[in-house]
Amino acid sequence: MTLSLLLPIGLAALAALLLPLLVHLARRSEERVIVFAALRWLQAAPQPRRKRRFEEHLLLLVRLLLLAALALLLAEPVLFGKPDRSPWVVVAPVVDPAAARRVIDGRLAQWHWLAQGFPAVDAAERPSVAAASTKPSFASLLRELDAMLPVDTPLTVVVPDVIDGADAERPMLTRRVDWRVVPSTSVSARVDAANHAAPAVMVRYAPDRAASLRYLRAAGVAWQATFPSSPAAASPASRVSVAPASQALDARTRNLVWLVPGPLPAAVRDWIVAGGTALLDAQAAVPELANAAVVWRDDGGPLARGARLGRGRIVRLERDLLPAAMPGLLEADFPAQLQRLFADPMPAPGRVNAMAYAPRVGAAPYAETPRPLAPWLAALIAALFIIERWLADGPRRRSAS
């Protein structure tokens, strides 16, 4: 560990150490004058010169220490180097910590979640995957952790075989990372399964959008005929359920067609953030879709844009759901196109194979964050001040006088 001063000019205050020295030199002990009548007529003998000397050495020492501590506080001392160099193991929130402990001997390591704030695994609940859409990306969290830890701290990262939230390129860190991949159900396998199942969709509409309902009902009938053997098709919930926008959403259904212009109500937004997928009206006002990627197009241009919102997805139509604006409604493949909007993953955040996303080494080392010593100095100054007052005005001084 290295001690450094952020403001060395503050040490100029050490010149104040002369003040208590001068005060103690000029100080004279209090003397009581007692008049003796018999001695009044005696000639005064010459007094020997007294040598200047310091008195009350302990009080003088405490005052000097107090002024020195104040001068050091003005110089803003900091300490570089962290004594705790124990290994770190960070676990992605989608990974079971018990599975990670089976493949890693991390008994002497600190276990943390790879999430904002890096909470401890044993002292905090699993971070919710339904965080805000503005949460840091996977690579951003790795870079933040790399900058936070001391340079020589060993780091192990446990991730699933498919990473959700990857940047366009592999992250580059300042240290070599022990990259551990825990097998899990492949995202592509889940998407393929969803692509071969009839989605259960609830429709909520405004009165002026009633003309679009016939095409959604027709798509539901086509799904029933296309997927007759799927468990979802055999369930009543697999049919397209239609209701006015005033009716509450069904928490058991994960797909919604929201044909209502204007901003999304708070209840609908919370339902999407919790994991739902919503196909929104072309006039729906959603700021998150300002620069969203195109997920459906025809020869005339984009038909829909999609993005993530929390743990869920939002897809907004670019045109009204009417044949005049969207001729594809009358095509035979419209039910399949609509079903893919609910099944396919959005282009962002990116999903990559974890083995191909292992961090590279080569980033410039980060400047080590110093630890300020001001709180400790402030406590020391307070203690010295109390001692100085006790020595200057305490019971010992009162009894001596």
Question: 339 and 214, same structural domain?
Answer: yes
- Sequence-distant contacts of 122-128: CB under 8 A, at least 24 apart: 126/93, 127/93, 128/93, 128/311
The residues, any chain, with a CB within 8 Å of residue 172's CB and separated by 6 or more, are: 359, 360, 361, 362, 363
- Let me know if residue 354 belongs to a domain: no
Do residue 74 and residue 124 come from a single domain? no
Determine the Cα angle at 291 with ends 337 and 190, to 5°.
Answer: 40
Is 94 contained in some domain? yes
Average pLDDT value for residue range 20-41: 65
Q: Which long-range contacts (CB under 8 A, 24 or more apart) does 378-386 make?
A: 378/73, 380/69, 381/66, 381/69, 381/70, 381/73, 384/62, 384/65, 384/66, 384/69, 385/66
In a shared domain, residues 124 and 227 = no
Cα 163 off chain centre by: 19
pLDDT in tens, 99-115: 888 888 767 788 999 88
Q: Is the dihedral of CA 337, 338, 340, 341 positive or negative?
A: positive
- pLDDT 10s digits, 218-246: 888 888 776 554 444 444 444 688 999 99
Phi and psi for 297 in degrees, rounded to 5? -145, 160
Q: Which of 140, 163, 184 is the last residue of a domain?
A: 184
Q: What is the pTM of this model?
A: 0.43
Do residues 196 and 341 both lie within one domain?
yes
- Residue 281's closest CA among 260, 295, 254, 302? 260
Q: What is the tens place of the pLDDT at every residue in 70-81?
A: 988 888 888 776
Residue 204 has φ and ψ, to the nearest 5°, of: -125, 130
Residues 158 and 226 in one domain: no
Shared domain for 138 and 163, answered yes or no, is: yes
For residue 356, tell me if it sits in a domain: no
Over the stretch 49-101, which tens digit does the pLDDT of each residue have?
555 566 677 888 888 899 899 988 888 888 776 656 789 999 988 888 888 88
- Domain final position from 151, 184, 217: 184
Give the number of domains in the chain.
3
Q: What is the band of 18 on the pLDDT scale with cuts at 50, 70, 90?
A: confident
Mutual angle of helices 334-343 and 213-226, in 10-degree steps: 80
In a domain, 336, yes or no: yes
Q: Is residue 281 part of a domain?
A: yes
Residue-range definition of the domain harbouring residue 312: 190-347
Same structural domain for residues 179 and 200? no
Please identify, among 184, 212, 230, the residue that sits at the C-terminal boundary of a domain. Answer: 184
Residues 300 and 320 in one domain: yes
Q: C-alpha angle with apex 109: 107 to 115, nearest 5 degrees? A: 125
Residue 267 and residue 140 share a domain: no
Report the alpha-carbon angle 301-307-311, nearest 5. 155
For residue 326, tell me if it sits in a domain: yes
Residues 217 and 316 in one domain: yes
Any domain includes 240 = yes
Whether 218 and 303 share a structural domain = yes
The answer to whether residues 284 and 171 belong to one domain is no
Q: pLDDT at residue 33 above 60?
A: yes
Q: What is the mean pLDDT of the chain?
A: 79
| Domain-embedded: residue 361 | no
